[in-house]
Amino acid sequence: ESAAAAAAASLEEVTAALRDLARALWEEHRDHCLEGGVPLLWAATRVHNNDDVPAFKELAKSIAEADVQLVEQASNQVCVDHLLFGEEQEQVRFIVDDAAKQRRSQMLSWYLHKKSGWLRPRGSLADSVLWLLLRFIEIGSGDLRLDFWEQCWSGEGHRQLAEASIVAILFAVAHLAPRHDSWPKRLFDALLNPTADPEHVKQRQAFEASKQLLPKAQRVLTPLLRRGIDSERSLLMLGGR
pLDDT in tens, 144-194: 778 888 888 988 778 888 888 899 999 998 888 766 557 788 888 888 888
Q: Out of 9-18, 78-87, 209-218, which region has the weakest mean confidence (pLDDT)? A: 9-18
Q: What is the pLDDT of residue 119?
A: 42
Q: Out of 93-97, 109-113, 224-228, 234-238, which region has the weakest mean confidence (pLDDT)? A: 234-238
Kindly indicate the confidence band of residue 198, based on its pLDDT and cuts at 50, 70 and 90: confident
d(CA 38, CA 31): 14
Q: What percent of the chain has pLDDT over 70?
A: 82
The closest alpha carbon to 69, from 46, 48, 47, 44, belongs to: 44
Judge whether residue 240 has pLDDT over 50: no
Judge whether residue 121 has pLDDT over 70: no
The closest alpha carbon to 229, from 208, 193, 203, belongs to: 203
Q: What is the pLDDT of residue 28?
A: 92
Helix axes 2-28, 57-64, angle to 10 degrees: 20
What are the residue ranges of helices labelled H in 29-76?
30-33, 37-48, 57-64, 67-72
Mean pLDDT of the region 11-21: 81
Whether the Cβ atoms of residue 73 and residue 39 lie closer than 8 Å to each other? no
d(CA 107, CA 116): 14
Judge whether residue 117 has pLDDT over 90: no
Please state the pTM of the whole predicted model.
0.82
Q: What is the pLDDT of residue 229?
A: 58
pLDDT in tens, 214-234: 998 999 888 888 765 555 554
pLDDT in tens, 71-84: 887 777 788 888 88
Q: What is the pLDDT of residue 56?
A: 80
Q: What is the pLDDT of residue 58?
A: 85
**Which residues, 6 or more positions from 5, have their beta carbon under 8 angstroms from its beta carbon?**
none
The single-letter code of the amino acid at 61 is K
